[in-house]
Amino acid sequence: MADYAHPEVLVSTDWVARHLGDTDTIRVIESNEDVLLYATGHLHNAVHIDWQTDLQDDLVRDYIGAQEFARLCSEHGIRNDTTVVFYGDKSNWWACYAFWVFKLFGHKDCRIMDGGRAKWSAEGRVLTPDVPAYPSTNYEAQEPGGDIRAFHAEVVRHMERGGALVDVRSPQEYIGEVTHMPGYPQEGALRGGHIPGAVNVPWSRAAREDGTFKSREMLEEIYLQEQGLTPKGDTVAYCRIGERSSHTWFVLRYLLGFKNVKNYDGSWTEWGNLVGAPIERGEPEAE
């Protein structure tokens, strides 16, 4: 991990196993696509954050406010100086998403357990159904900033000036062959295709079969050599609702050291349903 731009944000299963008892300074958080998975067994002393009911406003398509986020952290015994370590299913899709949301609200020490839940289980490590309880804290959350989140109007300006756009969905979604993520026909958009000028790098290309992140050399070959992206430029990543692109955002920002990369969480659910939003279909023309 030392070769990554910010190796401190990625921890191994061994590291987590050694620190599961350090609940005064560390909080391990499980966040999954399958919200029922936690109840079947999880890491000892780990708490559960449901990406939908805990982090989302159920009336507005947006995140909870700073006050609600502070309450959520307080209920889990998280202080502003707590090290929070995220892990989950799907090669840490939703762990990266939760990591990104915590960063939106200004939490400083956030980390990802490399390989997530699958690697922990594959190594034969213990899972428990016991749900821990922690004394509440007085957490103070800052208002969400715009340095890592892109809204539609900003993406339009970024597109018009030829900024780097990374579509991390499947090739079928990107070319407009399907209007939904494979296996999720109920979650489609009205139109298929991609934002003009976007390159297609499916999020899964950054992960190994065991769910761990590929080496920095391998990631640079994909994003820098193959796609021509640059760590010094402005980059926007998107997918369907921002979960897969949060994985790519994490890779670009922390593993490759991109200075200015944002996650467009409105993504294709917004763009593909918005009146007047330009789209492209098919493979990009070869230069």
Return the pLDDT at 130. 97
- Integer Cα distance of 140 and 203 in angstroms: 33
What's the 3-state SS for 263-281?
EECCHHHHHCCCCCCCCEC
The full set of domains in the chain, from first to last, is: 7-122 (3.40.250.10), 152-271 (3.40.250.10)
Beta carbons within 8 Å of 151's beta carbon, 6+ residues apart: 264, 266
Q: What are the average pLDDT values for consecutive 10-residue runs of the chain, which has 287 residues? A: 93 98 98 94 97 85 91 98 97 95 96 98 97 97 91 97 97 89 71 96 96 97 97 96 95 97 96 96 68
For 35-76, the pLDDT digits (tens) are: 899 999 999 999 999 988 899 887 887 898 999 999 999 999
Separation between Cα atoms, residue 283 and residue 182, nearest integer Å: 18
CA distance linking residue 6 with residue 257, whole number of Å:
7
Please confirm, yes or no, whether 96 is among the known catalytic residues.
Answer: no
Pair 268, 173: CB distance under 8 Å = yes
> CA-to-CA distance for 16 and 22, rounded, in angstroms?
10
Q: Give the angle subtended at the CA of 248 by the CAs of 163 and 142, to the nearest 5°.
A: 85
Which residue among 73, 96, 110, 239 is the active-site one? 239
Q: Return the pLDDT at 61.
A: 79
Q: What percent of the chain has pLDDT over 90?
A: 85
DSSP codes of every residue in 2-66: TTSSSGGGEE-HHHHHHHTT-TTTEEEEE--SSTTHHHH-B-TT-EE--TTTTTB-SSSSSB--H
E strands present in the chain = 10-11, 26-30, 47-48, 83-87, 110-113, 164-167, 199-200, 234-238, 260-264
* pLDDT score of 187: 65
Is residue 93 classed as helix, strand or coil in its secondary structure?
helix
pLDDT score for 211 = 95
pTM of the model: 0.95
Question: What is the reported pLDDT for 124?
Answer: 97
